[in-house]
């Protein structure tokens, strides 16, 4: 049975391939820097737009804390490119249509939408250190103030 708490604090993140708006890469591409991976349900929806704008607004501060930001959803690269252009987002987005990253990070959940049960991404964020070890985990994220909380954790980790 898979460990529903993986990854958790102290776990090494698997070196998975990723497809981003900047091209193909691997999670190991980020080694040597801290990394925020945040999972969100869908491009250009109200909560996801606010979350993206918040991470973008603090992107320079994350970079000053030697922290890269990577947003992940099941949307296509084309959708990500439109989302980035429409809202002038300043960080990288990864497309996960086959749910490889989502499943590895255990963010796929049964959710209720308009009285129906649907399977979707539970808004979750992971702060990973420069060696690829998870240092903070936020699951079931509420958007208001979240980017600031993650930024403060990244700053503390960078010290």
Q: Which residues are catalytic?
A: 48
Cis peptide before 55 (omega within 30 of 0): no
- Distance (Å, whole) CA 124 – CA 108: 10
Cβ burial of 89 (10 Å; 0-12, 13-18, 19+) is: buried
Query: 70 CB contacts (<8 Å, ≥6 apart)?
Result: 18, 20, 30, 35, 36, 37, 38, 91, 92, 93, 94
Beta-bridge partner residues of 119: 110
Q: What angle do CA 137, 57, 111 make, to 5 degrees?
A: 45
Torsion angle defined by CA atoms of residues 21, 24, 28 and 31, in that order, rounded to the nearest 10 degrees: -40
């Amino acid at each position: 049975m898979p460990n529903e708490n993986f990854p958790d604090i102290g776990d090494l993140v698997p070196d998975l391939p990723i497809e981003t708006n900047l091209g193909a890469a691997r999670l190991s591409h980020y080694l040597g820097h801290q990394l925020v991976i945040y999972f969100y349900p869908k491009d250009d929806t109200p909560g996801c737009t606010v979350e993206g704008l918040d991470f973008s607004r603090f992107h320079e501060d994350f970079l000053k804390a030697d922290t890269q930001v990577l947003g992940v959803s099941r949307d296509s690269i084309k959708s990500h490119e439109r989302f980035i252009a429409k809202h002038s987002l300043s960080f990288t987005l990864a497309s996960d249509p086959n749910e490889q990253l989502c499943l590895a990070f255990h963010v796929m959940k049964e959710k209720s939408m308009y009285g129906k049960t649907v399977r979707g991404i539970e808004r979750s964020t992971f702060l990973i250190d420069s060696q690829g070890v998870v240092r903070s985990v936020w699951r079931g994220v509420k958007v208001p103030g979240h980017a600031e909380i993650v930024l403060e954790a990244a700053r503390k980790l960078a010290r």
